[in-house]
Amino acid sequence: MARKFLYFVAAMIVLAIAALLAYRLFGTQLMRAVMVPSENFQAQREAPRNIYARKIMWLARPDAPGNPALWTPPGYAPGKLGTGAAIFFIHPTSYINRDHWNAPIDDPETNARAELFLRGQASAFNEAGDIWAPRYRQATFGAFLTSVADSERALALAYGDVSAAFDRFLKEAGPTRPIILAGHSQGALHLTRLLRDRVATDPKLKARIVAAYVVGWPVSRATDLPRMGLPECRAVDQTGCILSWESFAEPADPSLIVDTYDQTTGFNGQPRKGTPIVCTNPLTGTADATAPATANLGTLVPSADLRTATMAVGNVPARCADHGFLLIGEGPNLGPYVLPGNNYHVYDYSLFWANIRADANRRLEAFAQ
């Protein structure tokens, strides 16, 4: 029996090594095969414009009990409710099922995963003001691994929900309060469209924007930025500007992103291919910068069960490199979710959590002055 058990363990180790090798060699192809929905897109009704008046439609809002966006690591505390900015945060993809192109709004596993993202990402802003983060019928993860028309339909449905939530957010925030916009990954994609459709076309709204954190999604300097209503942030105390980055450890292979990016059209109708990507160094708050690890005020290191995290100071450097990607050296061990190509996409906020917090506070102070 003992010998059979040892054979079993040896076989499992061989299979695990083979699976890891296959993932490294064919990661993208494997991900597409198992994540892209096989069904055709099913049209759904647009979100009623007043549905976000219902508190249940928000993962986070100032009056929500157990608000996940109010989480902080030891040594930090959220600001006083009702002060500072109104913050609209669009969470990244938390629906990874391939049964549907869009997440059911009440899927418990999807919403629980989204709350984890709010604790690790939106929490960076909770000293600067009150955070609103909507539930929305997000496109599934597999929608980003294919170029079929159903993917665009799924993203359009998700954006419709975000736009309806933004209407309610503006009503809740009032007509004069400063606004911070932030998102990650799919949330950042929807944020680029909000900037184009809503901020760039509304001078009064534009004048209230402290900053927009468009993180984990490529923004073309040539074809997107001029239509988004705000310039990129080039000074540490600049307001009314955009910050954006995508994190890779070295050696980095961003080919999956570049290949997709090069096939798309920018907001001005011109191809994005070959155009530079906006890169803000979150350690400095400025564009195209390089900073050593000593400039890192704190990286969130999650516990094994993801229920809490500790702060590691001065561990992760950052530099904007060729084509606009943010390189972080060898990369810390933050968990098992590093994507193919040494892509630290999942950790775009965690890597620089304390610097993002300081950046938002600094820009809010400059805006007030």
**Whole-angstrom Cα distance, residue 14 to residue 43?**
44
**Whole-angstrom Cα distance, residue 62 to residue 362?**
22
The predicted-structure confidence for 96-111, as pLDDT tens digits, reads as follows 766 667 778 989 998 9
Residue 185 has pLDDT above 80, yes or no: yes
Q: Which residue type occupies 137?
A: R
**Whole-angstrom Cα distance, residue 222 to residue 215?**
18
The tokens 């170029």 sit on which residue? Answer: 147
Pick the more confident residue, 152 or 210.
210
CA neighbor of 293 nearest in space, from 312, 321, 320: 312
pTM (two decimals): 0.89
**Whole-angstrom Cα distance, residue 357 to residue 97?**
32
| Local structure of residue 38 (DSSP, 8 states) | S
**Whole-angstrom Cα distance, residue 208 to residue 328?**
33
Residue 192 has pLDDT above 90, yes or no: yes
What SS3 string covers 179-215? EEEEEECHHHHHHHHHHHHHHCCCHHHHCCEEEEEEE
**Whole-angstrom Cα distance, residue 134 to residue 113?**
14
Residue 327 has pLDDT above 90, yes or no: yes
As a whole-number percent, the residues of the chain with pLDDT over 70 amount to 85
Residue 25 has pLDDT above 50, yes or no: no
Residue 144 has pLDDT above 70, yes or no: no
Query: What is the end-to-end Cα distance of the chain in Å, rounded?
Result: 75
pLDDT recorded at residue 28: 52
Pick the more confident residue, 125 or 100.
125
* Mean pLDDT, rounded, for 314-324: 94
Strands 326-327 and 280-281 turn out to be unpaired
pLDDT recorded at residue 251: 95
Residue 207 has pLDDT above 70, yes or no: yes
Q: How confident is the model at residue 171 (pLDDT cuts 50, 70, 90)?
A: very high
**Which of 141-150, 207-216, 330-339 is the least confident region?**
141-150
**Which of 23-32, 70-79, 112-121, 146-155 is the least confident region?**
23-32
Residue 200 has pLDDT above 50, yes or no: yes
Q: Which residue type occupies 132?
A: W
Q: Which residue type occupies 190?
A: H
Residue 307 has pLDDT above 90, yes or no: no
φ, ψ at 141 (rounded to 5°): -55, -40
**Whole-angstrom Cα distance, residue 248 to residue 306?**
22
The dihedral sign for the CA sequence 235, 236, 237, 238:
positive
**Whole-angstrom Cα distance, residue 13 to residue 8?**
9
The predicted-structure confidence for 1-12, as pLDDT tens digits, reads as follows 443 333 333 333
- Chain-centroid distance, C-alpha 172: 23
* Mean pLDDT, rounded, for 335-340: 89
CA neighbor of 154 nearest in space, from 112, 198, 189: 189
Pick the more confident residue, 170 or 155.
170
| Local structure of residue 330 (DSSP, 8 states) | T
The predicted-structure confidence for 244-272, as pLDDT tens digits, reads as follows 999 999 999 999 899 889 999 999 999 99
pLDDT recorded at residue 4: 39
SS3 275: coil
* Mean pLDDT, rounded, for 208-233: 98
Cβ neighbours of 127 (radius 10 Å): 19
**Whole-angstrom Cα distance, residue 35 to residue 141?**
7
